[in-house]
Amino acid sequence: MKWIFPMLLVLAFAGFLVGQSPGTASAHLTDTPFARDGTAVDAWLPPSLHMKNTGGSDGAGLCVFTSLEMAAMSNNIRQLFGFQKFMTRRPGGGWPAKVNDMIARYCQEQSVKPPVFFHVEANDLGILKQALKSGRAVGITYSYSPTGRYRGQRIAHMVYLAAAGAGQGPDGKGWYCCVDNNFPGSFEWMDERTFLSVASGGSRLWAVIFANPTYPPAPTL
């Protein structure tokens, strides 16, 4: 009988630990588009529109094209709706020249004008911040999960960047938020230093930015 109280305490503590979302002070996961401190994402895309990564005709991943279709949805680029499905009939894997080629082909197939987009292949967070602040969506390379996904291992991946330098962040430089197409429905937040390491993978990051502006804000009266 005298063990009941200590056991309850231990169970409560264990429950508290389990209830915490995985992460550290510099990185954490949320199920909503808000960081732990309440900072909101810059480029809103509701979890119901998050897409799951899939494979191309050779089984290789389509993370690049999945991220770009998510960015297209976020920025009303109607020419690229259905882009991932189009790519499932072609070999997977993505790099800048292939992105140019596939966007041109997909738009040609639909007889529509291709969207304007930019490539950044440099560790230049200033451009990413400018893009997000002006309401442009970004697909960005991602080399490991700072919250422990993929067992901390190195990956060759692209994700949707939902925030760059938003709010204060743990270091005063703002939060960065990635939406991983292998884990749709969740938001991975990290500080600037961690993000640069994640996106560059030790060399240099690659980002694709669309010129179309994002959706209007939710109406208020």
Half-sphere exposure of 136 (CA within 13 A, CB side): 20
- Residue among 76 and 110 whose Cβ is closer to another protein: 76
Among 36, 107, 155, 167, which residue interacts with another protein (rule: CB under 8 A)?
Answer: 155
Query: x/- binding map, residues 46-65, to another protein, per CB under 8 A?
Result: x-xx---x-x--xxxxxxxx
Q: Is 211 in the site for another protein (CB under 8 A)?
A: yes
The region, left, alpha or beta by phi > 0 then psi within -120 to 50, assigned to residue 201 is left
Residues 63/158, Cβ–Cβ less than 8 Å:
yes
Report the C-alpha gap between 143 and 134 in whole angstroms. 26
Among 24, 108, 123, 168, which residue interacts with another protein (rule: CB under 8 A)?
Answer: 123
Residue span binding another protein (CB under 8 A) among the ranges 9-17, 33-41, 105-113, 122-130 = 122-130
Q: Is 157 in the site for another protein (CB under 8 A)?
A: yes
Residue span binding another protein (CB under 8 A) among the ranges 7-15, 33-41, 105-113, 155-163 = 155-163
Please tell me whether residue 30 adopts helix, strand or coil conformation: strand
Closest CA relative to residue 158, chosen from 176, 136, 142, 147: 142
Residues 140/199, Cβ–Cβ less than 8 Å:
yes
Q: Is 38 in the site for another protein (CB under 8 A)?
A: no
Please, which of residues 74-93 interact with another protein by CB under 8 A? Answer: 74, 76, 81, 92-93
Place of tokens 């240099």: 204
- Residue among 11 and 185 whose Cβ is closer to another protein: 185
Q: Is 156 in the site for another protein (CB under 8 A)?
A: yes
Q: Is 27 in the site for another protein (CB under 8 A)?
A: no
Report the C-alpha gap between 149 and 191 in whole angstroms. 17
Q: Is 19 in the site for another protein (CB under 8 A)?
A: no
Query: x/- binding map, residues 127-146, to another protein, per CB under 8 A?
Result: x-xxx-xxxx----x-x-x-
Q: C-beta of 12: minimal distance to another protein in Å?
A: 21
- How many residues sit in the footprint of another protein (CB under 8 A)? 84
Residues 170/194, Cβ–Cβ less than 8 Å:
no
Half-sphere exposure of 170 (CA within 13 A, CB side): 16
Half-sphere exposure of 199 (CA within 13 A, CB side): 31
Please, which of residues 169-198 interact with another protein by CB under 8 A? Answer: 182-183, 192-194, 196-197
Place of tokens 């911040």: 129
Q: C-beta of 1: minimal distance to another protein in Å?
A: 36
